[in-house]
Structure 1
Amino acid sequence: MNTARIVVLTIALGAGGVAAYLARSTDDHAQAPAQPVAQLPTVEVLVAKNEIGLGQSVKPDDLQWQTWPAGTASGNFIKRSDRAEATKEIAGMIARAPFIAGEPIREPKLVKANGSGFMAAILPTGMRAISTEISAETGAGGFILPNDRVDVILTRREKAADKGGPDIVNSEIILPNVRVLAIDQAPKEKEGQNALVGRTVTLELKPEQAETLARARQSGTLSLALRSITDVNMADNSSEEDAAPKKGASINVVRYGVQSSMTTQK
């Protein structure tokens, strides 16, 4: 064997050894065990399997247990470790507020019907449900929906003191920031609609407010003014005197582009 062949064979053997070493090193790194992942403690909480609408009776098929991080599970959540039979206990209760699919079930948003209709079941303690007639003109064109907040406005037409003079029209807010419970017999927005034109509206009122509304229906025309959704957290309806115009207060009226001042009367 001549010298050239020996040199080539030596180089080939050396290259093969290097390649084998590199391949072996790569396999060792690839087979290194993965670092263990820390497992967070979890609990099983009761959630809505399907959407549950306002006034809907909860069925067992509407509920399911779902794994939830223990650190974020509120005290209001129903845990399987505490109440394994909660599905049976919750079934038959009525939703006082809607649930979306996957939302944890909280009992403050539910109420037992005890044979009563859903409207009596969802009314807060001490409140009353009272209805009054509306139209598209007096009901914000149909854009008032259940659970919205409204102001109730009374408009009265009075004869002028001077014979032959124009009638005096007075308007005032008699019930500010009240909640709409239903339009006609619909306790929730109809699916696919963003407007609901009805002939009656049911409002959630305190007993003294219900008396005010009953008197006002005999005194003039009632209209509803839709309020912003953010007004739900404002002061409750007990502050009527602060929200309604005082006797003798002046308001600006614009007619045909001409501004004039009007004094309210009660």
Structure 2
Amino acid sequence: MKTARLVILGSAALAGVGAFFMFLSGPKSPAPIKIAVPAPPPAMDQVLVAGQDIPFGNMIEQGDLRWQSWPKNGAPPDSIVQAKDPGAINEFTGWLVRSHLSEGEPVYRDRLIQPGKAGFMAALLPSGMRAVAIAIEPQGGTTAGNFILPGDHVDVIHTFKDDDVARADGGDGMVSETILHNVRVLAIGESIQKPGKEPVIGGSNATLELTPRQVEQIILAQRVGQLSLSLRSMSDSSTTASGDAPDKDTNYTIVRFGIPAPGRVR
């Protein structure tokens, strides 16, 4: 009995040892699967940029500016960020561009001029031109019934008393002549052309864009007579003109009783 029992126990032990080794030599469990988690997108700011090329001297219109995504804390110094100036696009509509802005270029406050601020009128002028104000009637008697607005082109008419004409025909000697052609009106009163808005009609003066020579003509003519503006057709205004009246007469100055007056040699 003891021998048989020992044989059974030995067989069982051998079977257990075999099962143990079979378990060790069996297939291993698969390695854990690693899931790649994408990095979070970088934080971005919205920077104000030019939506298209804006030349020097142009006024900002709707659609000229837009917000552009920019890496946070990487925006150029002094650029305009939406988080700080959310209404900047509307604020700058009607402002003047002091230097050319290329499409996609960040916008800076010091490159724009607000209407009514110092330097605004000077920035409207092309190189070599001057701005001169002339007196007009607020009722529109000298400005085509108040239909002349900033941005229009006009002829300048001088009305004055000519003593030679008075002696020749016995009348009052009043004479009118066009002294300048196709000059641009920069402002009427304090109204300057603004995109999307009609300027307020009326004012006691008109500011014209003139050459230095034309400035001298206007100042002298205004002293010895009255100036009126004649509105030109838009098709005429688009043509390039010198601004000087293309008359065949030679202008010169006559001094009568100590008062200078324009004269002409025919």
**TM-score, length of structure 1 as denominator length:** 0.51
TM-superposition CA deviations, 1:65-99 (whole Å, max 9, x none) = 59xxxxxxxxxxxxxxxxx96x938x8895269xx
Name the structure 2 match of 1:126: 128
Name the structure 1 match of 2:192: 187
Question: Does the 8 A contact of 1:145 with 1:183 survive in 2?
Answer: yes
The match for 1:246 among 220, 244, 249 is: 249
Question: Does the 8 A contact of 2:150 with 2:199 survive in 1?
Answer: no
Name the structure 2 match of 1:155: 159
| Cα distance between partner residues in 2 of 1:204 and 1:143 | 18
| Cα distance between partner residues in 1 of 2:97 and 2:179 | 27
The match for 1:207 among 212, 217, 221 is: 212
Identity in percent: 38
Residues 127 and 192 of structure 1: CA distance in aligned 2, closer, same or farther (over 3 Å): closer
Which 5+ residue runs of structure 2 have no aligned equivalent? 1-48, 69-74, 81-87, 251-262
What amino acid is the match of 1:132? I
| Cα distance between partner residues in 1 of 2:198 and 2:178 | 29
**TM-score, length of structure 2 as denominator length:** 0.51
Q: Which has the larger radius of gyration?
A: 2
Residues 184 and 54 of structure 1: CA distance in aligned 2, closer, same or farther (over 3 Å): farther
Which contiguous aligned blocks of 4+ residues in structure 1 show a shift greater than 4 angstroms? 53-56, 91-94, 113-116, 189-195
Residues 201 and 195 of structure 1: CA distance in aligned 2, closer, same or farther (over 3 Å): same
Name the structure 1 match of 2:29: none
| Cα distance between partner residues in 2 of 1:196 and 1:222 | 19
Name the structure 2 match of 1:77: none
Name the structure 2 match of 1:165: 170
Give me the CA root mean square deviation: 4.3
What amino acid is the match of 1:174? I
Deviation at 1:197, TM superposition (A): 1.8
Question: Does the 8 A contact of 1:96 with 1:122 survive in 2?
Answer: no
TM-superposition CA deviations, 1:206-239 (whole Å, max 9, x none) = 011001100000121110000011223213225x
What amino acid is the match of 2:149? L
Deviation at 1:54, TM superposition (A): 6.5
Name the structure 2 match of 1:101: none
Residues 118 and 220 of structure 1: CA distance in aligned 2, closer, same or farther (over 3 Å): same
Name the structure 1 match of 2:96: 95
Q: Counting helix residues as a fraction of each chain, which structure ranks higher?
A: 1
Question: Does the 8 A contact of 1:132 with 1:202 survive in 2?
Answer: yes
Moved more, 124-133 or 187-196: 187-196
Residues 177 and 105 of structure 1: CA distance in aligned 2, closer, same or farther (over 3 Å): farther
Name the structure 1 match of 2:25: none
